[in-house]
Amino acid sequence: MMKSADFLFTNSLLCLSLLLLSSCTISPIATSEINTPSSTLTLSITPSPSLTPTASITPTASITPAVIIKSKIHSLSLNENNVREIRNLATFGTPNKYCLISSDLDSAIDTIFSNGQTEYLLASKDHDESQNIHIWNLTTEEIVQTLSDDNIADAVLFSPDHNTLISFSLDEPGTLILWGIQSGNPRQKFDFKHNYYYDARISLSSNGLRIALFSSRWYSENFRVSEFNLQTSKISETDYEFPLFRESPPPHIYSPTGNLIAVTYGMDDKLHLLDLTNNKDTILQFPFSNLNDVVLAEAVMETIAISSNERYVVGGTLSGNIYVWSFTDGSLLETFEAHETDIADGWIGGVKILEFSPESNLLLSVGYDGFTKLWDVNSGDLLKTINTCHHFGGFTQDGRYLVTVGENGIEMWGIPE
């Protein structure tokens, strides 16, 4: 659903592009400046008094979820044994124009291997007044924990330790909470600085020790990527300064090898893939010669993903297109016209989620148009289209299932071996 802020950002971006193309200069709204690079911000840390995790997870019997949750197993393959050989499978239904999809990243998946058993956990936030976070055991189809806090979570992530859930609220001053999954209690709470704006998108490194998020002083024109170190409880800013081209800053992600990566439009009118860990800049091939054309085509990047073998990097735009690049040299390999848009009806499509399966060639896209799609980036084929108004989709870590959350509740879709 296109918000008024989105309309303002599009017009602001157009104006900014025209200014960049002329000799005009832009004056900041306020004179406050971003902290110097690599500066350290002071945090207020409130640990929980004492925690005694339960020996076993007991389902919460009295909880009634906001929607009826149904867990289903569907095979993505009709007659093939290898997902890379799937071709032209049927589409489920037609788009629902009035499907309201949250912009929050309010669901996450974890795969737990214990004593030879595999269990799948899903954290999903209620959209009623409670805003509780429920943790589901998808194997038993039961809620095993409910997390409640005054802070409304804008993003949730499972830690790689399989014992911790991380929630983030961007409401000032910006709050990060580490929850014990078994106890359901907060282990640590970190309040960031006041008078800063924080974007809802956060990224977690593969070792679970660093969290990246965009931050900016109020009324500043520029953002920096901040990294929060969970071991030292300190946050530092990267050297690179990102111009505010839109309501939200450009997307960032940790690569499988642990480098912090961001995609942004430079003042040279080119699209850049920045390795902020190693200070490496790769120009991405992009079919637009200047920022004005980017704005007119609504080719602003919404989200990015990197394949597990680091062969591909993909970017999803406000227009609904997905661009596939070589991660090594930035060459454009493929463009998918993935998700529909329709500004005239008061809503706009676009790509909310991109994620690679552990197989690296299988790409998931979730759009604001109500569709979830699976792509083979090796062949460029659309393998599967599902329309049940999903606001979340992701692969289990063993690659066996695609888990979606939408108007039909929680659904598990089998991935053939």
Task: Find where tokens 């409880």 sit.
Answer: 233
Does residue 273 register a pLDDT over 80? yes
What DSSP line would sit under 236-273, residue for residue?
A: EEEEEEEE--SSSPPPEEE-TTS-EEEEEE-TTS-EEE
Query: Residue 351 pairs with which residues in a beta bridge?
Result: 367
Rounded to an integer, the average pLDDT of 308-322 is: 93
* Residue 96, pLDDT score: 54
Number of C-beta neighbours around residue 344 at 10 A: 7
What are 110's two structure tokens? 């974890």
Query: How far lies 373's CA from each of 281, 337, 397, in Å?
Result: 30, 11, 19
Nearest to 6 by CA among 215, 181, 246: 246
Q: Environment class of residue 235 by beta-carbon count within 10 Å: exposed (0-12), middle (13-18) or buried (19+)? A: buried
* Residue 215, pLDDT score: 79
* Residue 191, pLDDT score: 87
* Residue 63, pLDDT score: 29
Does residue 234 register a pLDDT over 50? yes
Cβ contacts of 372 within 8 Å, gap of 6 or more: 364, 365, 366, 385, 386, 387, 388, 390, 393, 404, 406
Rounded to an integer, the average pLDDT of 228-248 is: 76
Q: Give percent above pLDDT 90 in the chain.
A: 33
Contact 138, 403 (CB under 8 A): yes
Q: What is the pLDDT of residues 21-59, one digit of tens each?
A: 333 332 322 322 223 233 333 344 333 333 222 222 233
Q: What is the pLDDT of residues 72-105, one digit of tens each?
A: 444 443 223 333 222 233 344 455 556 667 676 7
Band the pLDDT of 226: cuts 50, 70, 90: confident
Q: What is the mean pLDDT of the chain?
A: 74
Q: What is the pLDDT of residues 143-197, one digit of tens each?
A: 899 998 777 788 899 999 999 999 998 877 889 999 999 999 999 999 887 777 7
The four Cα atoms 272, 248, 276, 364 give a dihedral, to 10 degrees, of -80
Contact 146, 133 (CB under 8 A): yes
Contact 387, 91 (CB under 8 A): yes
Rounded to an integer, the average pLDDT of 120-149 is: 84
* Residue 109, pLDDT score: 93
Rounded to an integer, the average pLDDT of 349-376 is: 89
Q: Which amino acid is at 196?
A: Y
Does residue 399 register a pLDDT over 70? yes
Does residue 275 register a pLDDT over 90? yes
Q: Which of 44-48, 196-200, 245-249, 294-298 has the lowest mean pLDDT?
A: 44-48
Contact 227, 211 (CB under 8 A): yes
